[in-house]
Structure 1
């Protein structure tokens, strides 16, 4: 699976402009975790993600996509792809 390496200075508006929810989620995770290239196959824990960072990610997702998702969904997901699909499903609902 290809990774995403978005500019860490990108604003939320620019990040969401025409991008799929999955790409927005990966961009937000990358910024909050200050990670390099990430893919949907990576685990949140591959980057040393904490519960506080999970809360920050969920707040940013809410701001960017107007989707409310609990940090537990991220923490319980086997990979970022599972979490991104959960966000995408909520966005589509």
Structure 2
């Protein structure tokens, strides 16, 4: 009988240690994955900020171009339809 109890206790302890090792490895992998995903997410956010900055620059250039075209259309046509004055 004591041999059976010893075997059961030994099996229980061995199983508990094995489960603890597996859980620790799983947690370690999960932490590493979270760190990698955090780095990846930060890189994506940095890239998004860069794209937003570039888009703002393009919007400014477009607004400037639209203003220039509007001013050009509204300006009087110099030299169109009239002959230059005689000297």
TM-score w.r.t. structure 1 length? 0.18
Task: Give 1 or 2: higher helix fraction.
Answer: 2
TM-score w.r.t. structure 2 length? 0.19
- Structure ranking higher on relative contact order (CA contacts 8 Å, 6+ apart): 1
